[in-house]
Amino acid sequence: MNFLQLALELSFGSIGVSRPNPAVGAVVVKDGLVVGRGATQSPGNAHAEVMALRDAGELARGAVLFVTLEPCCHYGRTPPCTKAIIEAGISEVYYAHADPNPQVRGKSRGILEAADIKVYEGKDACLRAHAESGWNDRCSAEGCTLLSPDESENEGAVVYAEIERFFEAYDYFVRNKKTFVEVKIALSENDFMGMQDSNGRPAPLNITKQGAACWNHELRAMSDAILVGAGTLLADNPSLDVRFAHGNSPVKILWAGHHEFTESEISSLKFFSQVGGETSIPRQVFTCVEQPAIKGETILLSGNTFEENWTEMIAELSRRGMHRLMVEPGAHLSAKIFGDSGDRGEKNTPLWNRLDLWKSTDPSVERFLSQENCEGIAFPGVPDSAVAKESAIIGPDVLTVYYPGF
């Protein structure tokens, strides 16, 4: 067991709750036993460290604190977490990610060390955060698995990478005051991302298998909001939930573009429905035309081009404090997002920040298309300037991660 992995899992419960503050998780450990857990609450309420310390109570004295993000050290809506940590009598602090906020970055460690608290940060903290065999046999009651030194180091490196990935959007948001746009696309062997019937009507097409689907839902759980275009909504009728992952469902966003939705379409789409008789997950519609049939929040965009309207939408999401927008586009919206950006000024600013491109090696997708007498819808292509940075394989599906090239 790695205690910073546990803290990361706790942080998922804060996504959408703590906004615009980062979602943070923390655990207090004494003699190898977790005695306190916490996650950041809504703005103006306790941060993860304080919640974990409250949960631990007097057991926090002499204990160790593991937290995903560097504790704050300044007065904002709440007092500094460094102050609470010192007053609680914590002996050691392990934090995985340095806060990009200049009011915090690097300052917390000095404050804690001045109070005779040992501090470990970054990858070093993650490598040290495993449950050691000499701590407490009761760790097994917490579901721990005691690992060899090599196994612990490998696990710690993986945890560090996961936490860095988790805070990628937050770092970008702090530095740029702008929502991070992450695009997910799945392609068949022949680069089809969808299909249409003989009448030219889009139809749903399952491309990737369960492993990739679980990864996709974990990304949804990491995101403040998830966006699909009108074409994808009408063809796939997606739920846009996180049923294959632990965490909160993101805010659902529809890029309606110039499609005016009818009452008949709205009544058949899960996006507009309520689940279990309860109020559905918050949803927003960004549109270039009036939508008289849509009830709920609809934002009419004022730009003359796709780029202007997309930028206007991102500015609104940024204003609402959303760190990560996940986009699951169809072919038309993909072409717009990745298309020619020559009219965006000398910097040629891209409209996206990360592309997660899944490629299936399963030939059954192509066979399905031929059996159904359907035509595949081709992916417009990755921008020539995009740079591949990471890759992974899950079952028959291959993931390649791209970033914009500058």
What separation in angstroms does the CA of 62 have from each of 28, 113, 170, 219, 391?
10, 15, 32, 36, 42
Element (H, E) at 25: strand 25-30
Q: Which two tokens stand for residue 363?
A: 């030939």
Q: Which two tokens stand for residue 90?
A: 């914590």
Q: 282-314 b/e with 16+ CB inside 10 Å = b?
A: ebbbbbbeebeebeeebeebeeeebbebbbebb
Q: Which two tokens stand for residue 220?
A: 């949804």
Task: Tell me which residue has tokens 């429905």.
Answer: 273
How many other C-beta atoms are found inside a 10 Å radius of the C-beta of residue 119?
A: 18
**Within 13 Å, how many C-alpha atoms sit on residue 287's CB side?**
19
How many other C-beta atoms are found inside a 10 Å radius of the C-beta of residue 43?
A: 14
Paired strand residues for 298 = 285
Q: Which two tokens stand for residue 251?
A: 């805010």
Determine contact, residues 266/294, Cβ cutoff 8 Å.
yes
Whether the upstream peptide bond of residue 80 has omega within 30° of 0, thus cis, is no
Name the catalytic one among 9, 49, 307, 312: 49
E strand map for 243-374: 251-257, 283-287, 298-300, 324-327, 354-360
Residues 6+ apart with CB under 8 A from 404: 350, 352, 353, 383, 385, 386, 387
Cα 172 to Cα 56: distance, rounded to the nearest angstrom: 33
* Burial of 53: CB neighbours in 10 Å, binned 0-12, 13-18, 19+: buried
Residue 49 a catalytic site member: yes
Indicate the length of the chain as a whole number: 406
Q: Which two tokens stand for residue 387?
A: 């740079």
Residues 6+ apart with CB under 8 A from 257: 229, 230, 287, 288, 333
Using DSSP, state whether 249 is helix, strand or coil: coil
Using DSSP, state whether 185 is helix, strand or coil: strand
> Where in the sequence numbering do the catalytic residues fall?
49
